Structure 1
Amino acid sequence: MKEAIINQSKSLPPRTFFLSLIILSLFLLLFLSLQSHKSLEKPTSDNNDDLKIRPGYTSYDSYIHHQLQKTTNPKLRKIWTSRDWDRKIRVFTHFFNRLKREKLLSNSSKALCVGARVGQEVEALKRVGVNDSVGLDLVPYPPNVIKGDFHFQPFDDRTFDFEFSNVFDHALYPDKFVGEIQRTLKPGGICVLHVAVSRRSDKYSANDLYSIGPLKKLFNGSELVRSRKVDGFGLDTEVVFRKRNG
């Protein structure tokens, strides 16, 4: 058999033989490239059963496209800016006033709301006196929300005193989501997350959280201040972290 293969290869014209080698090499390089790209794009949950990444995204672009389907939905945006507007501002105002009483937020705080949609939480911060506040989302909503990806915040290190988010479940890369918050918080700065624990969120969520343990591990440059049960638009737990000094 071996001699037959050798004899067959010898019977091929040199030009055809070398062309076949080139084509085979190109296919091999393409395969290795795709495998490398796949491994770079694959999100991980740090082998923690209490934080699971949902499957189904073939690339980061497909993830962004899926998130934009919700953010740009005209029916949802109309609801967010009309029927839900005042109701959500009242609820966020209640949360932020409590944080002010606990000395975790003040009028002098420079604040960021991560994944703010149309900015009800930003408006609530301003109404309780935290005027230097801004929101970040894939789609801007001036004047309260600017365009940006929470996996790659467009801000310098140590910019904010306070960051709030209720979209942790939408993070495809929870480590990058948390890493950017810790990077842009000042030492001693406060991060407040509203999350759903052991409760499956909507179809646009990219991860499912089953305890606050993974959050404590991800916030490796911060200390847990407290956690408590809340009723925040389908989210049931408020978790507060303080970035360590130094």
Structure 2
Amino acid sequence: MSIPHKPFVLLLLLSLLLLMHLFFSSTPSSPRTTAVATSTAAIRMRPGFRSYDDYIKRQLNKTLDPRLRRLWATRDWDRKVRVFARFFADLAAEGLVSNFSAALCVGARMGQEVAALRSIGVVGAVGMDLAPAPPLVVAGDFHAQPFPDDSFDFEFSNVFDHALYPERFAAEVERTLRPGGVAVLHVAVHRRGDKYSANDLLGGVDGLLGLFKRSDLVRVRKVDGFGLDTEVVLRKKKKNSHK
């Protein structure tokens, strides 16, 4: 009986180990289980989404629910428009949005936020959601906004918790904001989002702020915004900024 030479066996084992290393290192980590962490806080991704198509279907289950759409367009409409208008009036008083702003509401559903902006004089306001709601809301995915670079002076969203890829959400806001433009996010820090949420902020807004690499923090304050408790205001850096 012949015995294989030791160098051949060793070479075979090393080859197998190399193949295993290449396989596992090239397999991307799932965004459903990877936390985006900073020194003091993190964004925890929720499990349960088998694919991006599965995620989109679940979001559309809520957005296209006939009962909810009737509620958003009727009894819920005036109440939300009034509350959003108060938030936006405060921002206008601080000079963060004006009547001349090109404004986008990200994840606007039926468009209450858009109607609120228009009610205080921001006539160049439009909304975006997976399902359009003409004439206030056009179709679009916040992971890949359907707008050119530097399109808006102001962007508002209260659906950050619905982002399956938070880093893409932030990058798209920064891409479509003009230099010096303002982004306002309403998020849940001390409350848990609904069953359609894809992520949760842990311990604070640091994990969120770490995603906005081209923006400076203006301020953070507490709000009472339909289950969301914190307002984050950011300003996109100007192109000649060296900060």
Counting matched residue pairs gives: 216
Match of 2:118 in 1: 126
Structure 1 segment 75-114 matched on structure 2, within 5 A: 75-114=67-106
1:181 aligns with 2:164: no
Structure 1: give runs of 5+ residues left out of the alignment. Answer: 4-31
Alpha-carbon distance in structure 1 between the residues aligned to 2:201 and 2:208: 9
1:57 to 49, 52, 69: 49
Does the 8 Å CA contact 1:157/1:183 hold for their aligned counterparts?
Answer: yes
Alpha-carbon distance in structure 2 between the residues aligned to 1:106 and 1:139: 27
Structure having the larger proportion of residues in helix: 1
Output the TM-score relative to the length of structure 2. Answer: 0.84
1:214 aligns with 2:203: no
Alpha-carbon distance in structure 2 between the residues aligned to 1:239 and 1:42: 24
Higher RCO by CA contacts (8 Å cutoff, separation 6 or greater) = 2
Structure 2: give runs of 5+ residues left out of the alignment. Answer: 4-22
Give the superposed CA RMSD.
Answer: 2.0
Match of 1:46 in 2: 36
Taking only the aligned residue pairs, the percentage that are identical comes to 60
Alpha-carbon distance in structure 1 between the residues aligned to 2:200 and 2:235: 23
Match of 1:24 in 2: none
Q: What is the CA-CA distance between 1:199 and the residue it aligns to?
A: 1.5
Q: What is the CA-CA distance between 1:40 and the residue it aligns to?
A: 6.9
Does the 8 Å CA contact 2:31/2:165 hold for their aligned counterparts?
Answer: no
1:228 to 203, 221, 234: 221
Alpha-carbon distance in structure 2 between the residues aligned to 1:42 and 1:207: 10
Q: What is the CA-CA distance between 1:2 and the residue it aligns to?
A: 10
Structure 1 segment 119-198 matched on structure 2, within 5 A: 119-198=111-190
Could you say what secondary structure the match of 1:39 adopts? coil
Q: What is the CA-CA distance between 1:46 and the residue it aligns to?
A: 2.4
Amino acid at match of 2:164: L
Q: Which has the larger radius of gyration?
A: 1
Q: Which runs of 4+ in 1 moved over 3 A?
A: 40-44
Amino acid at match of 1:106: S
Does the 8 Å CA contact 1:198/1:208 hold for their aligned counterparts?
Answer: no
